[in-house]
Structure 1
Amino acid sequence: MKDALKIAMCQINIVSLDVQTNRKNIEESFRNACEVAPEEKPDLVIFPELSNSGYVFQRSRDFGNDYMRVAELIPEGATSRLVSKLCRNYGVYCIIGLCEAHHEIPGLIYNTAAFFGPDGELIGQQSKIHIPGEEKHYFREGDAIHVFKTELGNIGMQICYDTWYPEVSRLQAYKGCEIMVNIWNAPDYVTPPKVLYTLVGCRAIENRFYSIGVNRCGYHGEAYFAGNSMAVDPSGKVLNELLEGPAVVRATLESTPLYAERAFMPTLRDARYDVLSETFRYAKALMELKA
């Protein structure tokens, strides 16, 4: 990975179904992240899950109709085009969570993280693998776990509930991941700050890579989103964090701790998958029994 990688975590408020306001908030936060002194300019700008649409809290035909209609194609949609333009203007990378419309099937949508390069081109995308609660009524789950090799380093993306499953991070680590970016749209009553700390920190410690968590802030009805965006180094040390409110949270990720910690505590070398493979046999048998 790059010796000193600067990231900007854009902790924004997201207004449900109001894509115009959300795009304005994205653009303003992007500018705040990048229009700084040259030594502070980020290499990578990160936004939360579902930054264009907001989250889903109910199952209803009226809401479902409205929600399906704000889903956007990637990279052809308006939010993707905005982010692409901003990446080109500032010469930076960006990861952003989007409610994605299927290219062929109307009303089929995905909860997706899109990764854009400094030339504005789409590097790749990762759809949410684990779909919880009310999301099951709306989103099709992803079926692959990716790691993207860039000049910044090898970057893996996860979306919210995916972080609850350590197998996702471990697979990314074995695919070469050095920086795991998890984006959230997580209310406090489900994932309070203490839980976010634990999940983001544990994934870093287990895999000896950088673990980034970027959450939204504000309210959706009575649901409160504290934010609590943070960057954690491979030893579990929190580099920077922000509990509440809209802001840009900055951190510098250095390559030395990644190599030093993997040498000192080589969790990827020491893992006993010859023994732990039994876990997956049990899980497979359970799923077959359920079916």
Structure 2
Amino acid sequence: MKVAIGQITPKTGDKEYNCKKMKEQVIKAAKGGASLVVFPELALTGYNCGDDFFRVAETLPGESTSYFESLAKAYDIHIIYGLPEHGLTDVLYNAAALVGPEGFIGSWRKNTLPGHATDLTGPGAFPDRRFFKNGSGLEVYETSIGRIGLLICYDIFYPELARLITLKGADFIVGISGSPSFEKDIFEPIVKVRAMENTIDFVFTNLVGTEGDTTYWGGGCIIAAGDAKRKVPGTPEICKASYDKEEITIGELDIHNKKIRSFFPVLRDLTSDMYENLKKAHDHLV
């Protein structure tokens, strides 16, 4: 199966512009033989909307899912993209939607909301905690291209969440982010670790370029933990997007190849004691 990473620079609050840009990349992905194209966190609106998040947020399913459903059907492709979601009146979530040729399949809500600085040298902070409520579900959706689980940006920092999706039976994990440039050296290795510690394929995409005062580091990649068809022998990285430009990057996965689990048996060696002890330690945090 071919998977496309759709790396874009969104125009803040301009859904029509961003949808047009994503449409162009959907077409490129489909022409490249991809069965799935993955766009970054908040790709529909950008990350710097401020109070306009309340104006541009949508219900799921909603306006944009209808738009992408028609594209998915026309080009026989699955599409994942990030957007702000309306829950209850004026309750927002940082979310992602999945549509396919058969229509709307499902959605995810970001579980962990960052409140730390967006720049190590400045006072700014990610807007998540100001505007969004944290989600709690991590569904794994059965599709014609496999069982898909998803994490949104800061969620990827938590090994417990990727492990949960793996144990729920995902064939591969998708991670979408809007990570600024100062996080690159912190974030980049974590993606590979999440794949290898769960012996599961991981598709990662990030915003790129500059949106307002924020510059993103791009660098999307596909990590195929169990696939022998590797771009560089001895590494699990199938493909890598650039750090500084919008583009479609396509890699090939064999999601049914889990041979790595027979000689790297991290899932076999898990014990319930690990989780029970973790819970006990967490309950005693001061």
The question of a shared fold, defined as TM-score above 0.5 by the shorter chain, is answered with yes
Q: What is aligned with 1:69?
A: 55
Is 1:253 the counterpart of 2:249 in the alignment?
Answer: no
Q: Percent identity?
A: 30
Does structure 2 retain, via aligned residues, the 8 Å contact 1:112–1:126?
yes
**How many Å separate the matches in 1 of 2:214 and 2:138?**
30
Q: Deviations over 1:137-190 (max 9, x none)?
A: 10011011111122212211010000000000101111011210000111112x
Distance 1:255 1:100, change over 3 A: closer
Deviation for aligned residue 1:221: 2.3
SS in 1 for 2:284: helix
Q: Which has a greater percent of helix?
A: 1
The aligned runs of 1:129-140 (5 Å cut-off) are 129-133=111-115, 134-140=127-133
Does structure 2 retain, via aligned residues, the 8 Å contact 1:12–1:216?
yes
**How many Å separate the matches in 2 of 1:203 and 1:157?**
12
**How many Å separate the matches in 1 of 2:59 and 2:65?**
8
Deviation for aligned residue 1:73: 1.5
Q: Deviations over 1:31-57 (max 9, x none)?
A: 2222x2xxx311111111101111148
Relative to the length of structure 2, the TM-score reads: 0.88
Q: What is aligned with 2:104?
A: 122
Does structure 2 retain, via aligned residues, the 8 Å contact 1:56–1:135?
no
**How many Å separate the matches in 2 of 1:188 and 1:73?**
30
Question: What root-mean-square deviation, in Å, do the aligned CA atoms of Structure 1 and Structure 2 show?
Answer: 1.6
Q: What is aligned with 2:43?
A: 51
Is 1:150 the counterpart of 2:143 in the alignment?
Answer: yes
SS in 1 for 2:128: helix
Determine which of 139, 154, 168 is the counterpart of 1:161. 154
Determine which of 75, 89, 92 is the counterpart of 1:109. 92
Does structure 1 retain, via aligned residues, the 8 Å contact 2:39–2:80?
yes
Does structure 2 retain, via aligned residues, the 8 Å contact 1:101–1:110?
yes
SS in 2 for 1:126: strand
Structure 1 range deviating more: 273-282 or 20-29 = 273-282
SS in 2 for 1:248: strand
**How many Å separate the matches in 2 of 1:284 and 1:161?**
22
Q: What is aligned with 2:2?
A: 6
Deviation for aligned residue 1:276: 4.2
Does structure 1 retain, via aligned residues, the 8 Å contact 2:113–2:128?
yes
Does structure 2 retain, via aligned residues, the 8 Å contact 1:196–1:228?
no
Q: What is aligned with 2:118?
A: none
- Structure 1 runs (4+) deviating above 2 angstroms are 194-197
**How many Å separate the matches in 1 of 2:92 and 2:271?**
38
Does structure 1 retain, via aligned residues, the 8 Å contact 2:5–2:220?
yes
Q: Deviations over 1:194-219 (max 9, x none)?
A: 33331110011000000111011111
Deviation for aligned residue 1:275: 3.7
Q: What is aligned with 2:71?
A: 86
Structure 1 range deviating more: 268-277 or 122-131 = 268-277
